[in-house]
Structure 1
Amino acid sequence: MGTPVNDAALDTLFRTARTYNGYLPGEVTPTDIEAIYDLLKMGPTSANQQPARFVWCLSQDAKDKLADCATGTNPDKIRKAPAAVVIGMDLNFHEELPWLFPHTDAKSWFEGDPEKRRDHAFRNSSLQGAYFLMAARALGWDTGPMSGFDPAKVEAAFFADQPSVRVNFISTFGKGDPESIFGRSPRPEFGKFNRID
């Protein structure tokens, strides 16, 4: 049974957390990235599919390569960020299910059905991308998720050797610069987009 977290944790994860457009000086290390991953991998996916494939961009060369795939104001954000990540999805995730979900023959659920695999890969890698945001926040980092990029360019640049992997979304992360954000956009009240049947 879970234990409710305190108000400070809720603020860090949700209420005062923001999407950042710029970051304060400071580095993100491989150790920091592994700590984020060790948390996010614990989030649930259907039948433990774990379809997300992450490319962590720490070097300036990697960030420049990703920036070259981005659109609008995103290239500058990526180049200047301490780190960025590409959240991909493996359309052949089912090949890993014999060890990820050994309780039954889950691989057979997806063989010969690429549309079903794509649906599951997208849904569950989106969850894993959200777990990245929450894990980073929980460890004191700020994030800047974005979808302004050319998917074909990202896939050619980062997944050329993995033809079954497609990009879902990308994000920058580091210690957010408060000067880089504007006032929080509106959030709907419960009654606007919810109903209880």
Structure 2
Amino acid sequence: MLSQEQLALLFSNARTHNEWLDKPISDEQLHAIYDAMKWGPTSANSSPARIVFVKSSEQKAKLVACMSPGNAEKTRKAPVTAIVGMDMVFYEQLIKLFPHAPDARSWFEGNDAVVESTAFRNSSLQGAYMMLAARAVGLDCGPMSGFDAEKINAEFFAGSNVKVNFVCNLGYGDAAKLFPRSPRLSFDEACKIV
């Protein structure tokens, strides 16, 4: 079982950051994030997330042009921005990822509604795993959904079967510039045991 301190690192003390310290993230840290997150469960082990880690100033400028005005500057200042995409033909990998069901591809192929919901749901899960992995390696996160999806798809996923799900800045957040902690619903407001 994780200690209270470890749980706090991942959840209660973790915050959504909008301001970033000028401190780089190494490629090794990004590999460590993926190597941890890839083990998180997805339905039929579908693993539809495809991530572009944007680090270079040239690529960052292209991404900033796709962001809503309220998200542009914080994206520009973040050391890395992860574009969490979803592979819309993820089922092509099931023979490798779910080998004990050789017919798994047929569950999805030609059924656009099931493909869309499976890709979205499971890439969202994987994006959350990515954030937890980033926190576990000492980084902060700033997930966002304010962007022009068509522009991001054209700039970063052109010629592929991948579409953007959400965007998440990664780095060392400037804790001095955090907003006050927002409240959360209590167990009784959000849950019931039946």
Query: Per the shorter chain, which TM-score range?
Result: over 0.9
Note if contact 1:90-1:121 (Cα within 8 Å) is conserved in structure 2: yes
Q: Does 1:137 align with 2:138?
A: no
Amino acid at match of 1:67: V
Structure 2: any 5+ residue segments left out of the alignment? Answer: none
Note if contact 1:64-1:78 (Cα within 8 Å) is conserved in structure 2: no
Q: Aligned to 2:193, what secondary structure does the other structure show?
A: coil
Q: What's the TM-score once normalised by structure 2's chain length?
A: 0.97
Q: Does 1:75 align with 2:72?
A: yes
Give the Å deviation of 1:14: 0.3
Structure 1: any 5+ residue segments left out of the alignment? Answer: none
Taking the aligned partners of 2:136 and 2:12, their CA distance within structure 1 comes to 13
Aligned partner (choices 134, 156, 159) of residue 158 of structure 1: 156
Q: Does 1:7 align with 2:4?
A: yes
Structure 1, 135-144 or 25-34: larger mean CA deviation? 25-34
Q: Which runs of 4+ in 1 moved over 6 A?
A: none
Taking the aligned partners of 1:173 and 1:143, their CA distance within structure 2 comes to 5
Give the Å deviation of 1:190: 0.6
Amino acid at match of 1:93: F
Cα RMSD (Å)? 0.8
Q: How many residues align?
A: 193
Q: What's the TM-score once normalised by structure 1's chain length?
A: 0.96
Aligned partner (choices 180, 188, 193) of residue 191 of structure 1: 188
Taking the aligned partners of 1:73 and 1:150, their CA distance within structure 2 comes to 12
Taking the aligned partners of 2:72 and 2:61, their CA distance within structure 1 comes to 8
Tell me the residue number matched to 1:109: 107
Aligned partner (choices 92, 110, 113) of residue 95 of structure 1: 92
Taking the aligned partners of 2:131 and 2:140, their CA distance within structure 1 comes to 8
Q: Does 1:124 align with 2:122?
A: yes
